[in-house]
Chain A
Amino acid sequence: MLSPAAGLANPALTSPTQTTARANYGGSLGQSLLNSMLGANALGPQNSATSVTPTRTTQPTIGGLQPSTGKAVQLAQATTFPDIQGNWAQSFIEALAARGVIRGFPDGTFRPDDPVTRAQFAAMIRQAFQKAPKRSGTQFVDVPVNYWGFEAIQEAYRTGFLEGYPNNIFIPEQNIPRVQVLVSLVSGLELSPPAQTATILNTNFQDAGQIPEFARPKVAAAALNQLVVNYPNVALLNPNQVATRADVAAFIYQALVKQGTLPQLSATDVAAQYIIGYQPPVATPPQPPTQVADLRQQYRLPGPPIVERIRRIFGGGSSISTPTAFGAQSGDVFVGASYQERTRFTDLEDGAVALGFGLGDSRRLVALESTVTSFSTLRQDFLENGGISFKLHRTFPGDLAVAFGIENAINWGDTDAGSSVYGVVTKGFPLRQNPNEPLSRVTASVGVGGGRFRSENAIDDGDTDPNVFGSVGLRVAQPISLIAEWTGQDLNLGASITPIPGVPLVITPAAADVTNTAGDGTRFILGVGYGISF
């Protein structure tokens, strides 16, 4: 299977023999380090057809970083292709191919007119620019960790080259429009938008009116910095047209020119006429290229031996006594315990334990969560009083979920839990891109249910009409969410705490019935849960 991603075969199947433009080690120190540690064959001259990466990665990516074995690999890579001979973008493509930024397909072609997806673009960005991260990574809901472009997308995000769409969506398989490529490069290079945006756009582009409003300042910056290459008509930007591989090569090349990494094309190059604001390179005394390359080679250093680790961030809960519409799916297992300082209208403590698991996929279709609960545990022996509950739930894009459940559909023993049927909708509202920042998220649920969701009076009167319940959880800091909840009969206030980073232990202390609605005073309750995703 072919993938146009930077010209690689299916990235998910790529062998470790991938190249990267990042590591060109050698020179006296680099040479000595690599000779002694990685093997001299690992060394390759700058911009040559070989490169090595002894450092990091955890999974195959189009970016081509080597698994962290410490062994270097020498690779051959084409720097030109039969189907770009005479192509307007030939110079751009060949220069980037020589640097390992883009590659051809296994059949030897480049396919300059093929589109580029957002994930593929992220992979090219990763190869082209060596930029330090400016922010932490983020988890896009549609880019799972095992997606081939996960690391490239993360890096493009961390370095400021790419953003997601609202609600943490990235749409990695979307063909990227030309305007997005330009906005990305301007953002990544941190080029300042000019003051005269409209003038610059109207002067350079006959179709300036088609440029989306959000992109106008950055497209103006791109034009001002000679990043824009318009083929076949230099006066037409075609901002919303899908970018071809040739387009992207041209844009990235010009960005590298702006960065000082690559030379401007000469005035005699056919592509120069398509560069907005093209200025021929200033003539400089010729230097023996090999001498400069050798010097650079002597100075370059290998990257440190590091690896990427995925750390799961646990968001904690957003409810205390009431269900939300999120739940366990296939591979999810949980245990929990609850404690009541005293139960309603008694002075007696109470406790229960539960074990549950999920089946199905709530994002693709639907998932079923099943929970076995032992009420009044050990008072009358484990599972002597108990129930089995079910929750059918579906998650939609945008952190929206809907669930239908039957609490204690099956009861046994001497429990007064009863059965409660309910429906609930939950929506998450990310307030920050980075979930580690304070006040990063609000999660709200609202539901309707019978059984225990009825008011105290309704229960006493035997009134079976359903009642409304709901909860709101605000993550005030990474380990703590504050929760306010209406159970249908009580107002509860509490917190959900994940005390140990990386450990899915959730503790939920709360005050139940803080308004004394039931006339029995406020009670202290506590929940502890531990969930694992396999």
Chain B
Amino acid sequence: MNIKHLSLHLGLGFALAICGVVSGTPQAQAQSNNQSDVTGAIITTSDIAGGFSPGGGRRVILVFRTDEIRNSVFNAARLVNQQLAQRNLPIVATGASTAIPAIVQQNLESVLTASGNVDAGVRQTASDLVNAGANPTLAENLASSLRGLTAGGQVDAAKFDAVVRNYNALINASEQGSLENPAESLRAIQSMLSILLNAAYIRT
């Protein structure tokens, strides 16, 4: 059974079950000429199905392009969480190959997994970026958007997209000095995002 259609099958099954209940009604005269046939739930208009009222609407959601990509990103997220917990996040990105300080990894782990003192982790990450010359607003946007990104080994596609946008916005506004001597937090974020993106694109 295709799990993607589980809800549809459940819905149809439920509807059929109710139809079964109705059809199992004893065969006997219920009418007493007092319009008892229509004193139940309305059965003469689409109001029985919600009436197609405009009150529902549509919602745009962002999802990974395929289930395979999503699963790959989730696996990478679990790996990142493990690496951060062990303070051995690899340097995947630009710049010096020196290890990222443990305290930076600890902060990032707290923020990404939404565990421990998350607010302090966000503040520290933003502060680290600002001290290295980043625009304060953009640094705050980036640090805040990291909250819970890899929590539970799962990654919300919209959140992932927002983090990359915020990261690129910060980079686009960065001066030469802050990129030549990047904040340790920036290196850590770049490496973490790189791991997730590599996992995503390797499945495309």
Using CB atoms and an 8 Å cutoff, list the residues of chain A in contact with chain B: 22, 24, 27-29, 33, 36-38, 46, 55-56, 68, 70, 130-133, 136-139, 141, 145, 151, 154, 168, 259-261, 287, 291-292, 295-296, 298-324, 326-329, 332, 334-340, 343-346, 348-354, 356, 358, 369, 371, 373, 375-380, 385, 387, 389, 391, 395, 399, 405, 407-408, 414-418, 420, 426, 428, 430, 435-436, 441, 443, 451-452, 456, 459-460, 475, 487, 490, 496, 498-508, 510, 512, 523, 525-531, 533
Contacts and interface: CB of A to CB of B under 8 A. Distances in A.
Given A70-B204, A395-B54, A500-B7, A416 B165 contact: no
A326 B49 CA distance: 11
B171 A299 contact: yes
A408 B42 CA distance: 12
B32 A344 contact: yes
Closest 10 CB pairs of A and B: A527-B41, A529-B49, A139-B57, A336-B48, A351-B22, A315-B56, A531-B49, A315-B55, A132-B162, A343-B36
Interface stretch (B81-89, B113-121, B193-201): B193-201
Interface in B127-183: 135, 137-138, 141, 145, 157-158, 160-169, 171-176, 179-180, 182
A504 B39 contact: no
A130 B51 contact: no
18 contacts: A56-B65, A260-B135, A295-B176, A299-B93, A299-B179, A299-B182, A307-B65, A332-B52, A336-B48, A343-B39, A352-B37, A354-B44, A356-B46, A377-B23, A414-B29, A435-B55, A443-B55, A526-B18
Contact of B174 (A36, A151, A154, A296): A296
A56 B200 CA distance: 14
B97 interface: no
A272 B19 CA distance: 73
B160 A306 contact: yes
Contacts of B173: 259-261
Contact of A344 (B34, B43, B44, B198): B34
A334 B48 contact: yes
Given A339-B18, A379-B27, A503 B11 contact: yes
Contact of B50 (A55, A131, A314, A418): A314
Interface centre among B52, B174, B176, B180 (most CB of A within 10 A): B52
A58 to B, nearest CB: 9
Contacts of A417: 35, 37-38
B100 interface: no
Contact of B41 (A300, A436, A526): A526
A17 to B, nearest CB: 20
A355 to B, nearest CB: 10
A371 to B, nearest CB: 5
A68 B46 contact: no
Nearest to B203: A305
B46 A130 contact: no
B36 A344 contact: yes
A529 to B, nearest CB: 3
B62 interface: yes
A304 B164 contact: yes
B10 interface: yes
Contacts of A528: 14-15, 18-19, 48
B179 to A, nearest CB: 4
B49 A304 contact: no
B52 A327 contact: yes
Nearest to B199: A304
B39 A301 contact: no
A154 B38 CA distance: 43
B7 A502 contact: yes
Given A133-B162, A138-B57, A378 B23 contact: yes
Contact of B179 (A295, A418, A531): A295
Given A139-B58, A379-B28, A319 B204 contact: no
B8 interface: yes
Contact of B25 (A328, A339, A389, A441): A339
Nearest to A389: B44
A323 B47 CA distance: 6
B25 A313 contact: no
A385 B36 CA distance: 13
A380 B56 contact: no
B35 A459 contact: yes
Given A309-B60, A389-B45, A525-B41, A132 B141 contact: yes
B41 A301 contact: no
B21 interface: yes
B96 interface: no
Contacts of B141: 131-132
Nearest to B53: A326
Given A139-B59, A529-B49, 10 more contacts: A22-B168, A24-B168, A46-B172, A132-B162, A340-B39, A352-B40, A371-B43, A435-B59, A443-B55, A506-B48
B31 interface: yes
B7 A503 contact: yes
